[in-house]
């Protein structure tokens, strides 16, 4: 077995150009460790991935031809990044503006680096298999840590399971629940594609393994209790059921299955007290605060994420109304939002915290105006027709997760958010070749 593995490794490095080997190894490690809190190595990795792509472009025209096939993507990403540079001309807080531009670079470099190198279907499957395993390992470590703490505190007074197996108390190793839930959504969508459409994506041969992993991720995302991502998870189940039966000309059967699945998952939410409590804020208007500029309603209360977001969105929409055309500039969005918080006597946010808009559409509109918002929307909608024509369920699923997650998270304001967006956006637009075509391509690079 060792000899066979050694032979495969030698064959790989013999047949694969060095730039492609560096790219594939780094991307594989990058995806495997994505759930873990390793910011410095992760940042070094994406810089090397980008630098390796630049070297390949300089050394060989075939790589340049590869990238030029994605010229629309290049101009679209470059235009979105350029708008942030333009926004610096009318920004007062230039330090924060340059910081945000630095955060945004992976959203530009990672998708383009993914397109420079030829990718086989097997390589793509290996990428996603490693990512799914990485998410599963990280989730398992969260369970081990939680039960270890339970074992330690079992006999203590006022013991409650939610202090160990719920939301932020469950996630470990500096993981933020929402971003962990986003990664679970990606892993689950990949498994659903593998289960329903293995002809397009085949990561695991055994159906039982896929079902067990899906069940494991379903349980985990309910414990993490990130509402938007649970909704995306449920939507994914329903859509894949519907598409599977549509291809068999049994639309009504798929529709009924989809409704049944959503009904069961909603039932699980309603029957789980703490998860039901998290969702109750969506329809319990008494828990929300109406900001009226007359009285401070924000202090001395236990803020839930939904209540906080509604208050933030109220202020964000007011700021957009005043600067809808050009925005306030790349670096001034947060400062101007703080002023609106104070104007609305939302002192919990203006004096004691610095909350962003928690909505990437609002965030981009605040900074760059209506043109920036349209450029951000174009990143999602322009690729859809070709992805749908190719029946690229992988790409469509990735865009759906990134699009819906942007409604409740300003993920371009965080390093992990831009990295997740960049790497998966690049994967969504890949057009992998089969091994025979790829071997011919590789021989022309050497």
Q: What is the pLDDT of residue 8?
A: 66
Cα 229 to Cα 222: distance, rounded to the nearest angstrom: 9
Domain match, 128 and 269 both: yes
Q: Does residue 261 fall inside a structural domain?
A: yes
Instruction: Verify that 139 and 266 share a domain, yes or no.
Output: yes
Burial of 273 (0-12, 13-18, 19+ CB in 10 A): exposed
Domain assignment of residue 249, yes or no: yes
196 and 183, same structural domain? Answer: yes
Angle at 194 (CA atoms; ends 415, 189), nearest 5 degrees? 35
Specify the pLDDT at position 281: 66
Through-space distance between the first and last CA atoms of the chain, rounded to whole angstroms: 30
Residues 185, 267 within the same domain:
yes
From first to last of the 446 residues of the chain, give the pLDDT tens digit: 556 656 666 766 677 889 999 999 999 999 999 999 888 888 899 999 999 999 999 988 889 988 888 999 999 999 999 999 999 999 999 999 999 999 999 999 999 999 999 899 999 999 999 999 999 999 999 999 999 999 888 888 888 887 888 888 888 788 888 999 999 999 999 999 999 888 888 888 888 889 999 999 988 998 888 888 988 988 888 888 888 888 888 877 777 877 887 888 788 777 777 777 777 766 666 666 667 778 776 765 666 667 788 889 999 999 999 999 999 999 999 999 999 999 988 888 888 888 899 999 999 999 999 999 999 999 999 999 999 998 899 999 999 999 999 999 999 999 999 999 999 999 999 988 766 555 555 555 55
Does 108 share its domain with 162?
no
Distance of alpha carbon 389 from alpha carbon 401, whole angstroms: 19
Residue 336 lies in a domain: no
CA atoms within 13 Å, Cβ hemisphere of 212: 8
Under 8 Å between Cβ of 49 and 19: no
Residue 358 lies in a domain: no
Domain that holds residue 255: 121-280
| Dihedral pair phi/psi, residue 303, rounded to 5° | -80, 130
Name the domain boundary from 257, 280, 303: 280
Is the domain of 111 the same as that of 37? yes
What is the reported pLDDT for 272? Answer: 73
Q: Is residue 384 part of a domain?
A: no
Statement to judge: residues 237 and 148 lie in one domain = yes
d(CA 295, CA 344): 8
* Helix 227-246 vs helix 393-405: crossing angle, to nearest 10: 150
Give the largest CA-CA distance in the chain: 76
Residue 284 CA neighbour count, 13 Å, CB half:
11
Q: Do 62 and 135 have their domain in common?
A: no
- Domain annotation covers residue 153: yes
Q: Would 32 be classed as within a structural domain?
A: yes
Other residues' Cβ atoms within 10 Å of the Cβ of residue 368: 24
- Over the Cα atoms of the chain, what is R_g? 23
Domain count, the chain: 2
Q: 54 and 175: one domain?
A: no
Is 182 a domain residue? yes
Tokens of 114: 């993914």
pLDDT of 313 reads 92
Long-range contacts of the stretch 355-358 (C-beta < 8 A, 24+): 355/308, 355/312, 356/312, 356/410, 356/413, 357/312, 357/313, 357/316, 357/333, 357/410, 358/308, 358/309, 358/312, 358/313, 358/408, 358/409, 358/410
The structure's pTM equals 0.93
The verdict on 275 and 142 lying in the same domain is: yes
Last residue of a domain, one of 280, 309, 334: 280
Convert the chain into a string of H (helix), E (strand) and C (coil). Answer: CHHHHHHHHHHHHHHCCHHHHHHHHHHHHHHHCCCCCCHHHHHHHHHHHHHHHHHHHHHCHHHHHHHHCCHHHHHHHHHHHHHHHHHHHHCCCHHHHHHHHHHHHHHHHHHHHHHHCCCEHHHHHHHHHHHHHHHHHHHHHHHHHHHHHHHHHCCCCCCCHHHCCCHHHCCCCCCCHHHHHHHHHHHHHHHHHHHHCCCCCCCCCCHHHHHHHHHHHHHHHHHHCCHHHHHHHHHHHHHHHHHHHHCCCCHHHHHHHHHHHHHHHHHHHHHCHHHHHHHHCCCCHHHCCCCCCCCCCCCCCCCCHHHHHHHHHHHHHHHHHHCCCCCCCCCCHHHHHHHHHHHCCCHHHHCCCCCCCCCHHHHHHHHHHHHHHHHHHHHHHCCHHHHHHCCCHHHHHHHHHHHHHCCCCCHHHCHHHHHHHHHHHHHHCCCCECHHHHHHHHHHHC
Q: Residue 298 and residue 344: Cα distance in Å, rounded? A: 10
Q: Verify that 143 and 239 share a domain, yes or no.
A: yes
**Same domain as 176, residue 111:** no
Structural tokens at position 44: 């070094």
Distance CA(119)–CA(99), nearest Å, equals: 33
Query: Of 259, 280, 301, which marks where a domain is finished?
Result: 280
């Amino acid at each position: 077995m060792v000899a066979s593995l050694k032979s495969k490794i030698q064959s790989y490095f013999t047949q694969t150009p060095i730039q492609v080997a560096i790219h594939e190894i780094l991307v594989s490690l990058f995806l495997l460790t994505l759930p873990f809190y390793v910011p410095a190595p992760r940042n070094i990795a994406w810089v090397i991935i980008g630098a390796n792509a630049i070297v390949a472009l300089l050394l060989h025209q075939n790589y340049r031809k590869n990238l030029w096939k994605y010229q629309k993507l290049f101009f679209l990403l470059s235009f979105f990044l350029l708008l942030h540079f333009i926004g610096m001309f009318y920004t007062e807080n230039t330090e924060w503006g340059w910081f945000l531009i630095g955060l945004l670079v992976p959203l530009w470099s990672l998708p383009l680096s993914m397109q420079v190198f030829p990718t086989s279907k097997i390589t793509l499957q290996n990428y996603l298999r490693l990512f799914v395993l990485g998410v599963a390992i990280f989730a398992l470590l969260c369970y081990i840590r939680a039960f270890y703490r339970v074992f330690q505190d079992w006999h203590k007074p006022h013991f409650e399971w939610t202090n160990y197996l719920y939301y932020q108390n469950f996630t470990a190793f500096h993981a933020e629940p929402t971003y962990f839930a986003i990664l679970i959504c990606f892993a689950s969508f990949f498994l659903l594609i593998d289960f329903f459409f293995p002809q397009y994506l085949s990561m695991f041969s055994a159906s039982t393994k896929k079902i067990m992993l899906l069940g494991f991720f379903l349980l985990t995302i309910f414990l993490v209790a990130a509402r938007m991502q649970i909704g995306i998870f449920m939507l994914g189940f329903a859509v894949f059921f519907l598409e599977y039966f549509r291809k068999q000309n049994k639309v009504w059967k798929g529709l009924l299955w989809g409704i049944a699945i959503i009904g069961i998952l909603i039932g699980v939410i309603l029957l789980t007290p703490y998860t039901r409590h998290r969702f109750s804020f969506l329809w319990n208007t008494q828990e929300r605060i109406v900001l009226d500029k007359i009285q401070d309603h924000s202090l001395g209360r236990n803020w839930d994420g939904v209540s906080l977001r509604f208050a933030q969105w109220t202020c964000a929409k007011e700021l957009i109304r005043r600067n809808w055309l050009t925005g306030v500039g790349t670096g001034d969005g947060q400062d101007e939002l703080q002023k609106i918080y104070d104007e609305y006597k939302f002192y919990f946010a203006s004096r004691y915290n610095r909350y962003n808009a928690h909505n990437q559409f609002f965030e981009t509109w605040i900074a760059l105006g209506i043109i920036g918002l349209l450029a951000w929307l174009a990143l999602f909608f322009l690729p859809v027709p070709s992805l749908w024509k190719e029946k690229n369920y992988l790409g469509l699923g990735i865009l759906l997760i990134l699009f819906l997650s942007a409604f409740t998270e300003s993920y371009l304001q965080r390093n992990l958010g831009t990295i997740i967006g960049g790497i998966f956006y690049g994967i969504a637009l890949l057009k992998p070749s089969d091994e025979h075509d790829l071997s011919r391509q590789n021989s022309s690079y050497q």
